[in-house]
Structure 1
């Protein structure tokens, strides 16, 4: 079974959503890799924080994917959406029943690709109209089939813990939450 979780970063990503999610996934013992969609290994977030990626998108193969994670932030989401290779990996993940997660403005990528049809989803306020075919949820974090979406940076811990629960177990998510003294809603 594929084991890798790939978190994709593009210039202008939302740092809290990316870094906190990566941190919690790694605390859960999940092999989580930071992937840049550009050739340069350093990616700078929307608030000037630079991160060194583990891999280039050219080094990610569908057969290795367990989950794809898209943080929000602008212009990060626009830059992610402009990547044909990312679209290809997303389509492969959908076809293979892998977990696809996105937070903030990033669920709009799945929506514009027509992947949320008939699913429940949420996005940053103002991006709900780009969740084509989805039932927009009132919940800040939603799992619908293989998709996990979240509203904003304020819900990053809940988003990451929902991913851990989907990939491992509720017990593992509770263990990670307890270790950081976070009380899940």
Structure 2
């Protein structure tokens, strides 16, 4: 089965978190798809950078999912929360124990849906209150079971490498880190 990873972009997403994560996942050879949440395949980030999605959210099917990734940014996270289709995909993935990854303000979506209950997690400072049921950690990246959370744009490389490690193993994550001359 393909290890399809879907990265969801809604108007106002944080560009560093989205593009860096997509880039590193693709460098690892993982089939990574940019999902536009909305009616258009073109999505503008919080700082005006427009990204072309590979598919629209309505074209993603739970059976194809290995991991779902939610970048932060505002109002991007608010717009992700408003997508009923994304909420259904998250529920299906959580129930199936598939990988869920969220960074910056986006872990609040996982917290508000109850997916962080009894887990450690991190989020952008000030968003810890939305990590319902979690033990909030002031760390750059936290992996707890099948959920990976990242704190901020400054943690994005570590966040993406942690996801690569979870899916493909430490050797592949180290290989990607070496290729970009990054020391963890």
Q: Would the aligned equivalents of 2:2 and 2:31 in 1 still touch at CA under 8 Å?
A: no
In structure 2, what is the equivalent of residue 61 of structure 1?
61
1:141: Cα distance to partner? 0.2
1:42: Cα distance to partner? 0.4
In structure 1, what is the equivalent of residue 150 of structure 2?
150
1:124: Cα distance to partner? 0.2
1:127 aligned onto 2:127:
yes
1:166: Cα distance to partner? 0.3
In structure 2, what is the equivalent of residue 29 of structure 1?
29
TM-score (norm. length: structure 2): 0.99
Counterpart-to-counterpart distance in 1, 2:127 and 2:183: 28
Distance of aligned partners of 1:62 and 1:2 in 2 relative to their CA distance in 1, 3 Å threshold = farther
In structure 2, what is the equivalent of residue 8 of structure 1?
8
Counterpart-to-counterpart distance in 1, 2:139 and 2:79: 27
TM-score (norm. length: structure 1): 0.98
1:2: Cα distance to partner? 4.3
In structure 1, what is the equivalent of residue 101 of structure 2?
101
SS in 2 for 1:12: coil
Would you identify which runs of 4 or more consecutive aligned residues in structure 1 move more than 6 Å?
A: none
Stretches of structure 1 lacking an aligned partner (at least 5 in a row):
none
Stretches of structure 2 lacking an aligned partner (at least 5 in a row):
none
1:140: Cα distance to partner? 1.3
Q: Deviations over 1:74-103 (max 9, x none)?
A: 000000001111010000001111000000
RMSD, aligned α-carbons: 0.6
Distance of aligned partners of 1:2 and 1:63 in 2 relative to their CA distance in 1, 3 Å threshold = farther
1:138: Cα distance to partner? 2.7
SS in 1 for 2:46: coil
Counterpart-to-counterpart distance in 2, 1:42 and 1:67: 22
